[in-house]
Every structure is written in structure tokens, then in C-alpha cells.
Structure 1
């Protein structure tokens, strides 16, 4: 598995590695989960990596531990981008079903997929009409119907980022929330759209109009900050103000656009807002032919989770499909708030006044 953690482990002695982990990851030990043998076997047979870690909280007298397992899925496309649309989507469904089944066997209760997980990320092509059949209804589109069955089967909340088309034909970059009974719970539309190099998303869909919703699921209060929104500190802040304990950041990003700070932004957000952040990035190479010219993008995976105290997991592989399983105690959110008092000392009143005057 090609990632920073393995590179470092190969080069440092045990005591040096402890010090590196303490400084870089925020703790000397990664607190690995013992995964089932069947999990290892199925992942090897289906060519995806799996890793598991845990974050604990201090024992309290009044509250019981609030332990929950989260799952993050990063994956490549399954067929060439010039294959029939329905075949491309079904091939992705087939590989995702196997990964979700494994996650369920490890008692994962909330799982999140990557940005626009059902399709190649075709935005670099500057074409729209050709890809319109990938766009769908959030409440009863093909991906929601597919995942609803899995959610009900496994009693799992699923976060499904898709491209949405509404009743008026407007496109949106949307995260659908499906509850543990398989019901459509709601959606969040991407607030911030990039126009950087070949990432010109404003040509495809509208900036979000759903604000900063927090979904109170059976297992915890969750929110979704889609891809480019991680560059906006106030975007993260609003999910905290609205009560999130976990914020997922499903993404599709390449090395030229921020790999140097991929491991920093969501980690900073977890610290500043006293919640867990879950960063998911797609992986693999995608090739497109536009007017006989080849365009390609390579995504670097590296999905990881950060706790409110700033400690984080190693990332998944840079070049392979993967499932990251993380066991968290949500009591840690309140414990860190009580320790650092960021919410009490934030001076939001002062910022609100200044922002209201900004032109």
C-alpha cells in the first residue's frame, strides 16, 4: 500500500517512529483495530485495502461511552469512460456493494462515499450533454434506490454524494443522506464551487442553496462539507454552530490542486470546531477523449479521519481502492469543547458585526 505511513515505517527505528507519530499524527500509537479474518480475505480477493483505527475518550461518571464505527470508501472507476453509462454505473455499484458488506461485518454504522461516486469525474472535459444520464434524483434515483436496500439490510446510515437534477432541470453537486431503515433522510448541496484550471464546476451546476444542515441520525449528528468547501473556514464553522459531531468531506481532487494541504485543512477544522472530520478522496486514473484529444486525471486517495483533539489516522493508499474503519467515542467532542473553550471564547458577535459591514 503506497502511503506516507508505510514510507516512514520502512525508514525509522521503533523509538524514532514513536516520536514521529506523536508529532505528525498526534499520538505515539495508531490504536489499530483488530479486523476479522474474513474482512482481510474479502478485501484481498476483491483488490481493495482495508484499515481500522480507534479514538477513545476519557471515562465519565454521568455519561456512558458513546462508541460508534464509521466507514470511509475511496475507489476508482470500474470501466473505461467511453463505456455505456448504465454499464459504468453498475460496475461501480458491484464493487461498492462488496465493500459495504465488509463494513457491515465490522459493525460500521455510518459510511460515506466519495464525491460523485457513481461516475467518472468528467468535469475536466468541458462537456455536459454527453454525461447527462449520470445525473439523477436524490430521493429515488438509481444510486439512492441501490444504497437504500443496503442501508436497510445493514441498519447503516449512508452518505451518498451524487450529481443531482431537480424538477426544473437544474444540476447540483449533492450529498444524499439515507437512514438506517433505507429511507431518504435529506440532502446537502455543495456550497462552494471551484473555477480553478480544468476544475470549472460552475459550468455544470449551481452553488448550493441548502445552507449548513446537520442530520440527527440514530447514531450521531452528521454533516457533509463537499470537496472544495474544505478550503473555506467559515463553511466548517457553520456545521459546528448547527451542532455536528461528525463532518464528512467527500472529495475528488488531484495532486496539482492541494495535495500539499490535503492532510491539514480537515485536521485544522476538527481542532477548531471540536468535532470529528472524515476526509474521503477518490483514487485512480481517469481518461477522457474530447475531440480526439486525451485528457486524464489521477486522484490520490489518502482518505483519513481526525479527532477533535487533533490526532488523526494514517491515510489510505494513494493508488488503490480502500475502506477505512474508525471507531470513535463521540463523548470526546464535548470533552474537548470543555477543555479548550473555543466556543466560549470565539467572539462570534464581533465577527458577525464585521462581516455585516463587509462589502
Structure 2
């Protein structure tokens, strides 16, 4: 099977593993068996007509005597770019607005309360090229830009919180660029923004030539449907980054990303799931799909010849729960919408069971980290 035709791990397992063994294999790989979410036929048909993968699952919590269920539906959207990377900038943005807008319409049919798009969703992931033009022209105001105005319309029309990761142009501070997630409330107003905390310096992903580490800390947004954080892309490799969103009260942490097969695929299914377990919260990992071709060749700092693309983005977006279970992933090769119904009561139920935060010994780590960042730090090593 070629790389380009390998749809998903789940489909391969279902095609080749006997049914008697498949259930046990899925239990080991994915935790408890999730119910499939019954989606409206109109949504299913629309996804087929518009050629994208549509899946739905349910994470249940145990019934409680004093608290009613706290149900929220999240939608994760992964997609290819629509036009070639050398098409006019505004045409590329407009085409992506149209494509993703169609998918949000289906999310609304499915009753989604909070939708999150992939990292830098309005543009090619051109930061690997190390060229400034025309890529910096995709940058927009987080508060008043074309894309934020578009998302405000979606949010108000569908009564849906929209998490929109963009390349931000900060005009107040001299036109500085940031990798930013704009959070639009279901009222249609901008609730706030969260900037990418960790900037990769790994081969092509030397993104500090475009923007630097964010300065918004670990903001958590109180929405009508729950408290959410946005841990953008490379931040998923940093356990303390997830942890701090959780410490600020996030019940759901979104991780909009853009990452390719050769670089990170073996890590993908582990990191967000582990973060959900460690932090007693839900995590949502979103990755784009497709291969993006650039007119000018570039190298990757790996000794290989110059090339025109970064590699293939492998999609596989999924949701993980604090009890260690996770949803199947979306397609590795197709656009997709994953709709997942969560009962946020599960967060506290699992916290009460495992007590990771209660037993965290944060005062000990805070003391040792304070010492470790000092120039005169001496590791606590005992020698004979």
C-alpha cells in the first residue's frame, strides 16, 4: 500500500483483523469503546457531496446525583489548501473561507458548539520556505481582519464558538507577526486571542524568522459551553505547556497543528492523549492534510537536495479523554470533520479517581525549577 492511499490505521485494522480480536485490539489501542454519534442524514449527505470525511463519537461520564451531565459538542476541521501556492493571496484566502465555511455548515447541522480549525488555516504552511514574500501578506489583524470578520459571521449565524488560528499582524506593535488563535464567542464577538508559546527550530520548522514566542501566556477562555485553551502546534511537545492551560482551568485544550509524516507521525497519537490523562481534561488534536508545492526550491538543513514541498501532512485529527480513551482519527489523506460529544463531568470524575493534581507536589517542582534556571545551578547528583 502506498503512502498516498493509506487512509487510516482504523480502516486497515477493520479490513484485516478478525472481528473477535478487533474489539480487544481497539480496547488496548484506544481505551473504552466509544458509541458512534448518530449524525443527521442531511449532514452525512452534505459531507459526501462536498467530499470530506465525517465521523462522530460520544464520550460519556457516569451519572451523578448532584450534577446534571455537562454536554458539549466539539468539531475539528482538517483540510488541504484549495488553490496552488502561487495563486493570488486574496484568492487563496477566499477559497479557503469558502471550503471551511461549507464544512462549518455541516458542523452546525451536527449540533457542534465549539469548532476549531487547523494551524494557519487561511494559507499554505509556507514557513518552511524561509521566504518572506508573499507569505507575510497572509497576516491579518486578530480583531478586525478579513478572517476574523468571516468567523464572527459564522459564530453568530450558527451559535457556535469558533477557534481560528491565523498568522496575525499586530499593527499596534509595529506590524509584528504572531502565530495566533483567535477565539470568537457564539455571540459573534471576539472573546480574545492566544499566541503560540513554543516556536520550533527543527529543520524546515525554523519559524522564528516569521514570528517569535507568544506573550499571552496560558489564557483560558470561558465560553458558554465550557472553559477552553489553545495549545498551538509545537506546544504539544512540551508537557508543561499543556499543564499550565489545565492549571488555569481548561476543560478542553485544542491543539491546532501542521505537521508532516517524516517528522512526527509516530508521536502524534501519543502526545495529546497523554496530556488528557495527565491533566484531567479533554484534548483535541487537529492536523492539516495534503502536500503543498512551492515554486522555489528550499532545503531542510538535513543534507538532502533542495525540494519543492515540505512533505505530506497526515491529518488523523482526534479527541482524547482524561480516562485514557480516544476517538478514532480522521482520514490521513482527505479533508474531514470530526464531531465529538463530551460530558465534561468526566474530567472531575477521573481527577477524583487518580488524583494526579492532588498528588502533584507542585511546590517541590516550583522550588527546583526556580533553582534550575539560574546560572549558578548545580544538579542534585550524589557521587561516591
Give the counterpart of 2:42 among 25, 38, 41: 38
- Cα distance in 2 between the residues matched to 1:176 and 1:148: 10
Q: CA deviation at 1:285?
A: 1.0
- Cα distance in 2 between the residues matched to 1:131 and 1:11: 44
- Number of equivalent positions: 358
**1:322 aligns to 2:336 (yes or no):** yes
Q: CA deviation at 1:30?
A: 3.0
Give the counterpart of 2:113 among 109, 115, 118: 109
Give the counterpart of 2:159 among 142, 146, 155: 155
Matching residue of 1:178: 184
CA contact (8 A) 1:69 1:326 kept: yes
**1:283 aligns to 2:297 (yes or no):** no
Give the counterpart of 1:139 among 116, 137, 143: 143
CA contact (8 A) 1:151 1:180 kept: yes
TM-score by length of structure 1 reads: 0.98
- Cα distance in 1 between the residues matched to 2:336 and 2:187: 25
**1:270 aligns to 2:276 (yes or no):** yes
- CA separation of 1:318/1:291 partners in 2, compared to 1, >3 Å: closer, same or farther? closer
Matching residue of 2:380: none
Structure number with bigger Rg: 2
Gaps of 5+ in 2: 1-5, 299-305, 374-384
Matching residue of 2:54: 50
TM-score by length of structure 2 reads: 0.92
**1:202 aligns to 2:208 (yes or no):** yes
**1:261 aligns to 2:275 (yes or no):** no
Matching residue of 1:220: 226
Matching residue of 2:10: 5
CA offsets 1:195-251 (integer angstroms, 9 cap, x no match): 101111011101100000100001100000000000001001101110000000000
Q: CA deviation at 1:309?
A: 0.4
Gaps of 5+ in 1: none
- Cα distance in 2 between the residues matched to 1:237 and 1:228: 14
Matching residue of 2:71: 67
Name the Cα RMSD after superposition.
1.1
Give the counterpart of 2:84 among 69, 80, 87: 80
- CA separation of 1:154/1:22 partners in 2, compared to 1, >3 Å: closer, same or farther? same
Give the counterpart of 2:320 among 266, 291, 306: 306
